[in-house]
């Protein structure tokens, strides 16, 4: 079955809470563009160290710049499940 983007927007992305979160993410990006830390088309994302969904905010201590490929999504298995993070060796 093809993905129903209209239904997805109506049920999730179009909710008041998600619109507010999107506005906060856009504001963080504009802030870093003004400061010269990112620019359009540079392949960088403004990352929230503590995600907005977990109570994070746009304070400069909570923001960082990451390459887009490192900030998009978690690695997935062939079935679509999230791969476990590898533990760092000391």
pLDDT in tens, 8-59: 889 888 899 889 999 999 999 999 999 999 999 999 999 999 988 889 999 9
43, 77, 82 from 37: Cα distances, Å: 12, 34, 31
pLDDT of residue 86: 63
pLDDT in tens, 49-64: 998 888 999 999 999 9
pLDDT tier for residue 87 given thresholds of 50, 70 and 90: low
Task: Tell me if the pTM is above 0.85.
Answer: no
- Distance of alpha carbon 82 from alpha carbon 90, whole angstroms: 24
Comparing 38 with 74, the larger pLDDT belongs to 38
Please tell me the distance from the alpha carbon of residue 68 to that of residue 40, in angstroms, as a whole number. Answer: 12
């Amino acid at each position: 079955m093809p993905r129903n983007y209209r239904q997805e927007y109506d049920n999730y992305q179009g909710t008041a809470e998600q619109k507010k979160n999107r506005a906060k993410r856009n504001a963080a990006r504009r802030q870093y563009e003004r400061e010269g830390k990112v620019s359009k088309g540079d392949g960088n994302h403004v990352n929230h160290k503590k995600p907005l969904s977990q109570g994070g905010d746009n304070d400069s201590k909570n923001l960082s710049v990451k390459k887009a490929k490192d900030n998009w999504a978690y690695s997935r298995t062939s079935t679509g499940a999230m791969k476990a993070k590898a533990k760092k060796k000391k």
